Amino acid sequence: MRGFDYSPFYRATVGFDRVFDLLDNVAGQAASNGYPPYNIEKAGENAYRIVMAVAGFAEAELNVTQKENELLVTGQSAPNGDEGKQYLYRGIAGRNFERRFQLADHVKVNGASLSNGLLTIELQREIPEEKKPRAIEIKAEAKPALTH
């Protein structure tokens, strides 16, 4: 199901198909469950941080993968002998998850760490030299000498 009709934009743009597909994809993810909860932080001029609450997951049960402009974070909970336990209330989810993030061009994962039940993923936008703005020198044209 498409949430928004982009056809008017297709009439006036060329080459933006990927952007419209990305918007549809993100809108579809927003409708999915909110597990696990996460924050996205701006940590500097070109630095970002995703912090996910992954209580109950060990480092070996988490996987962070970047493929092109997509970041995939998965959690596969290992069986830990819950079969014999009888819960009166179970508020800690601990269920398997898959969370996808669309990354802008030139955003790379610098690393990930797990501390106190929070998975922190450090991201950095590395703009290539050829994409950075550069000043163009303006040269004055030599004036011809006046002859008398």
Considering just the CA atoms, what is the radius of gyration of the chain in Å? Answer: 24
The whole-angstrom separation of Cα 127 and Cα 107 is: 8
111-136, pLDDT tens digit by residue? 999 999 999 999 999 888 887 788 88
Residue length of the chain: 148
CATH topology of domain 34-128: Immunoglobulin-like (2.60.40)
| Domain extent listing, the chain | 1-32, 34-128
pLDDT in tens, 58-111: 999 999 999 988 999 999 987 666 677 888 888 877 789 999 998 988 899 999
CA angle 87, 93, 97 (to 5 degrees): 145
CA-CA distance, 125 to 7, in Å (whole number)?
31
